[in-house]
């Protein structure tokens, strides 16, 4: 059973060291969070699962890691400087500022219920910077609000380094920054967050086919790799398309408050490569593409067979990694009644995603014979390079099992007095709580089998 409220997840994240409030000891900062020991592992495992599917298991997608601070002009021609804004309204009575399109009732203040509300004004979401010794305080750079644009401007660099025929893609995982009016939902809407985005460049006449292919492939990844049941996921096509989009669909996960976007798949046509291309009137491109006077390149593609030169279309898959982690944790969060009348909380994560892969637990604290054997097992498991391994030397086995259930450790290995006699240990499985005795020599193989499912 998934958690009932996001507060259950917030409490678990804080208690067990997944996520902390950013700048906490100074009163926090809205929309900024710090990831603790288990949060960084879970995020890393989700990132790796995405990279495996999008880059390593294909021969047509390259990787990129672009800078997070970028030239102002990039965001002018991407359309963000002029158009990346939310409608901001202010309550004249209590002063609350709200995003109009997210208000419960756009005619009434969410905070005090007053109907005396200002007209909406466009509120720029990008975080502007004034950088360099010569900067005079005026914005000359921006923190990127998405990875996508920083991928488009590298289209030619990547293609020159790794020539590809169309279709091919460029994948990027990295931070994005948005000055959200009202960050909310814990890590659901933040001001600093992480995206895993892939831009797939296709011939214009094949865009619909690849849009469908990626839409289905991404949904399959959420189900097969993250382990989210299909019943808790759905597609929601955008009702209102952005001016450059031909088609757009969100993948939504069913959070406690209802379905909400975790990933978008977009057919962006030639808008982006076209807008960043100088002398674009040489190409037959969409009317929406912006006139570019400042770029230094043509982000076009020459077909090696036909010699044709054109601007490819882009099919984009855009996932929020923090939202993926929140969905994964929510889905895995399970409260179970036990046969003895007690209950336990267990995070039933896919073993590949689990922050700690295995815990080795001597039954008693600081007993050198037990600790030596446990340390040897710990070292053997570390050599498998499957991720984080922990050794617990507190002597409180019940507490150790409870902690590892709550952080989702798939298997615990307990070393006890019988181990000294027959070189066997107890393997305790997270989901079933089944315990079986196996030989110490067989532990690495058994753990590998569990992690590989």
| Interface contacts to ligand GAP, rule CB under 6 A | 146, 148, 178, 180, 189-190, 193, 195, 197, 261-264, 316, 318-320, 322-323
The SS3 call for residue 292 is coil
Residue closest to 351 by CA, chosen among 437, 440, 430: 430
Closest contact distance (angstroms) between CB of 243 and ligand GAP is 14
In the bound state with ligand GAP, the residue whose beta carbon lies nearer, of 320 and 351, is 320
The SS3 assignment for 215 reads helix
Query: Cβ of residue 299: shortest distance to ligand GAP, in angstroms?
Result: 16
If the CB atoms of residues 320 and 410 are measured against ligand GAP, the closer one turns out to be 320
Q: What are phi and psi of 59, to 5 degrees?
A: -110, 10
Separation CA 61–CA 173 (nearest Å): 13
The CA distance from 291 to 304, in Å, is 28
Q: Which is nearer to ligand GAP, 319 or 371 (CB)?
A: 319
Q: How far is the CB of 292 from ligand GAP (least distance, A)?
A: 19
Give the nearest distance from C-beta 194 to ligand GAP in angstroms: 8
Q: Which is nearer to ligand GAP, 194 or 390 (CB)?
A: 194
- Residue 53, classed as helix, strand or coil, is helix
Q: Residue 320 Cβ, how far from ligand GAP at the closest point, in Å? A: 2
Separation in Å, CA 189 to CA 168, 176, 323, 326, 359: 31, 12, 8, 11, 34
| Cis, peptide link before residue 171, omega less than 30° from 0 | no
DSSP secondary structure letter of residue 243: T
- Whose structure tokens read 């005396």? 116
Pick between residue 195 and residue 400 the one whose CB is nearest to ligand GAP: 195
Smallest distance from the beta carbon of 445 to ligand GAP, in angstroms? 38
Q: Is the CB of 323 or the CB of 388 nearer to ligand GAP?
A: 323
Residue closest to ligand GAP, measured at CB: 320
- Residue 100: burial class (beta carbons within 10 Å; 0-12, 13-18, 19+): middle
For ligand GAP, the closer CB: 13 or 358: 13
End-to-end CA distance of the chain: 21
Least distance CB 246 / ligand GAP (angstroms): 15
Measuring CA to CA, which residue among 200, 154, 148, 155 is closest to residue 301? Answer: 155
């Amino acid at each position: 059973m998934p958690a009932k409220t996001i507060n259950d997840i917030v409490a678990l994240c804080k208690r067990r060291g997944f996520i902390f409030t950013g700048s906490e000891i100074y009163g926090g900062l809205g929309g900024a969070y710090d990831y603790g020991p288990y949060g960084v592992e879970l995020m890393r495992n989700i990132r790796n699962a995405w990279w495996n599917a999008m880059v390593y298991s294909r021969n047509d997608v390259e990787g990129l890691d672009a800078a997070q601070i970028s030239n102002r002009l990039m965001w002018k021609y991407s359309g963000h400087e002029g158009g990346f804004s939310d409608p901001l309204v202010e309550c004249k009575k209590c002063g609350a500022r709200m995003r109009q399109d997210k208000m419960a009732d756009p005619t009434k203040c969410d905070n005090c219920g007053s109907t005396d509300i200002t007209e909406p004004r466009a509120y720029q979401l990008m975080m502007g910077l004034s950088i360099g010794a010569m900067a005079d305080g005026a914005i000359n750079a921006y923190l990127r609000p998405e990875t996508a644009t920083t991928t488009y401007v590298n289209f030619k660099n990547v293609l020159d380094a790794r020539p590809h025929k169309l279709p091919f893609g460029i994948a990027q995982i990295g931070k994005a920054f948005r000055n959200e009016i009202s960050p909310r939902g814990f890590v659901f809407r933040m001001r600093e967050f992480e995206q895993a985005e892939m831009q797939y460049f296709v011939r214009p006449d094949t865009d619909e086919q690849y849009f469908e292919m990626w839409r289905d492939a991404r949904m399959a990844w959420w189900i097969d790799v993250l382990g989210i049941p299909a019943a808790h996921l759905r597609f929601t096509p955008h009702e209102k398309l952005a001016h450059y989009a031909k088609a757009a669909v969100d993948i939504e996960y069913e959070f406690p408050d209802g379905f909400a976007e975790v990933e978008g798949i977009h057919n962006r046509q030639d808008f982006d490569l076209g807008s960043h291309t100088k002398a674009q009137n040489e190409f037959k491109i969409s009317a929406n593409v912006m006139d570019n006077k400042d770029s230094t390149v043509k982000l076009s593609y020459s077909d090696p067979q036909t010699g044709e030169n054109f601007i490819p279309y882009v099919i984009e898959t855009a996932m929020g990694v923090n939202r993926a982690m929140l969905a994964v944790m929510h889905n895995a969060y399970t409260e179970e009644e036990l046969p003895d009348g007690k209950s336990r909380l267990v995070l039933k994560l896919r073993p590949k995603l689990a922050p700690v892969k295995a815990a080795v637990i001597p039954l008693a604290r600081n007993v050198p014979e037990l600790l030596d054997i446990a340390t040897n097992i710990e070292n053997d498991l570390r050599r498998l390079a499957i991720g984080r391994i922990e050794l617990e030397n507190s002597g409180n086995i019940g507490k150790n099992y409870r902690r590892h259930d709550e952080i989702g450790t798939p298997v615990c290995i307990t070393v006890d007095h019988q181990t000294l006699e027959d070189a066997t240990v107890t393997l305790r499985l997270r989901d079933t709580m089944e315990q079986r005795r196996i030989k110490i020599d067989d532990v690495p193989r058994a753990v590998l089998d569990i992690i590989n499912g």
